[in-house]
């Protein structure tokens, strides 16, 4: 597992609260997901200037297949539209886009759009945007252990969850072993660049010791 340097920040976000945000306003859940896509654009635009090098967004969990088929289909269409609409913008802004998670259960059109976006943005160096689609951390850990690639999984520095829930929901469990956790009641459609800046400010106020003692080099801490 790779520990991040102080100049490299990996932020992971569980984008929760879309449906509840919509229902609270008397609108269908699908309206919340569309508003959530707009929030993604805002945060992706803000992340590089806030010092974020990698941004991993939990878009669709392996457990989300349990939702009603109509909602799942709307989400898949939203992913397809996002990939097709945002690829050119990502290229223009130097954003490298990649998708983690299973692809064998996704519609072929979505898989093709993912592959096209990944190829087109492969040389982006401003931000690495990773979308977790049909993703389960337990499955990812099992697969990486079998392949002997656990050490290549990049540590998360800050894990944010919106929407008021306080749990990890099978998201980046291995990579978040030493992550700072930040939970906010703000629903994802209301999350903005300023919200991300606030979360990062809280992250930078915290003291990360990785099991050591504050103010001591590793050897001195081990001897104490």
- Residues 170-216: tens digit of each pLDDT: 999 999 999 999 999 999 999 999 999 999 999 999 987 777 776 66
In this structure, are residues 64 and 75 in contact, taking their beta carbons and an 8 Å threshold?
A: yes
User: Which of the residues are catalytic?
Assistant: 16, 64
Rounded distance, CA 56 to CA 58, Å?
A: 7
Q: Is residue 159 scored above 60 in pLDDT?
A: yes
Q: Is residue 2 scored above 80 in pLDDT?
A: no
In this structure, are residues 120 and 96 in contact, taking their beta carbons and an 8 Å threshold?
A: no
Q: Is 201 exposed, middle or buried (0-12, 13-18, 19+ CB in 10 A)?
A: exposed
Q: What contacts 24+ positions apart, CB below 8 Å, involve 164-169?
A: 164/16, 164/17, 165/16, 168/14, 168/137, 169/14, 169/58, 169/61, 169/63
Residue 152's pLDDT is 87
Residue 207's pLDDT is 80
What domains appear along the chain, each with residue ranges and CATH number?
9-223 (3.40.1180.10)
Q: Report the percentage of the chain scoring pLDDT > 70.
A: 91
């Amino acid at each position: 597992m790779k520990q991040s340097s102080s100049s490299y920040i990996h932020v992971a976000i569980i984008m929760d609260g879309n449906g509840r945000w919509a229902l609270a306003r008397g609108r269908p859940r699908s309206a919340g997901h569309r508003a959530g896509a707009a929030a993604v654009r805002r945060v992706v635009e803000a992340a590089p200037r806030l010092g974020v090098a990698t941004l991993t967004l939990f878009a669709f969990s392996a457990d989300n297949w349990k939702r009603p088929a109509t909602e799942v289909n709307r989400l898949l269409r939203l992913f397809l539209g996002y990939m097709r609409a945002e690829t050119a913008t990502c290229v223009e802004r130097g954003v490298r886009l990649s998708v983690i998670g299973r692809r064998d259960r996704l519609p072929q059109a979505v898989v093709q759009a993912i592959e096209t976006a990944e190829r087109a943005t492969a040389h982006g160096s401003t931000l690495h945007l990773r979308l977790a689609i049909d993703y389960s951390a337990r499955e990812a850990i099992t697969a990486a252990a079998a392949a002997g690639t656990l050490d290549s999984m990049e540590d998360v520095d800050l894990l944010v969850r919106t929407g008021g829930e306080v749990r990890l929901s099978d998201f980046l469990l291995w990579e978040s072993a030493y992550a700072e956790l930040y939970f906010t009641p703000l629903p994802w459609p209301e999350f903005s660049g300023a919200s991300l800046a606030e979360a990062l400010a809280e992250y930078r106020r915290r003291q990360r010791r990785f099991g050591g003692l504050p103010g001591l080099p590793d050897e001195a801490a081990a001897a104490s």
